[in-house]
Amino acid sequence: MKSPSYVEEILDETWRPFTSKVFPDGYRFQQDDDPKHKSGLTLAHIVEKGIPYWPTPSESPDLKLIETMWNEMKYFLCKTWKPTVKDKLIAGIQAFWKTMTAVKCARYINHNTRLYRL
């Protein structure tokens, strides 16, 4: 996916309507280092739309919530599920997602706010 599609299809058509509905009192937007996330077009769009962007330094997995979740999923798959074929991998990923509760998400967020106050 290129930056123009990301801005239009992901940010404007999907993400912005979702966040305004689910987080009416505000939020902080964070992205990883994918080139389309860091492109001039995307960053200009974020500023233009007033999106409360929380930039993080490159190579800072402790500040990126999704990295913690991906590491937990990898650990779950390797130690608990141990997939050997694609179907078992898919089933393992689905089983992991069932463990993602609001409490677990709050734990990730609370860990981050201790590291870097919003």
pTM assigned to the model: 0.56
Q: What is the pLDDT of residues 35-91, one digit of tens each?
A: 999 899 999 999 999 999 888 776 666 666 777 888 899 999 999 999 999 999 999
Helix axes 102-115, 65-76, angle to 10 degrees: 130
Q: Which long-range contacts (CB under 8 A, 24 or more apart) does 40-48 make?
A: 41/3, 41/4, 41/7, 42/3, 42/6, 42/7, 42/11, 45/7, 45/11, 46/11
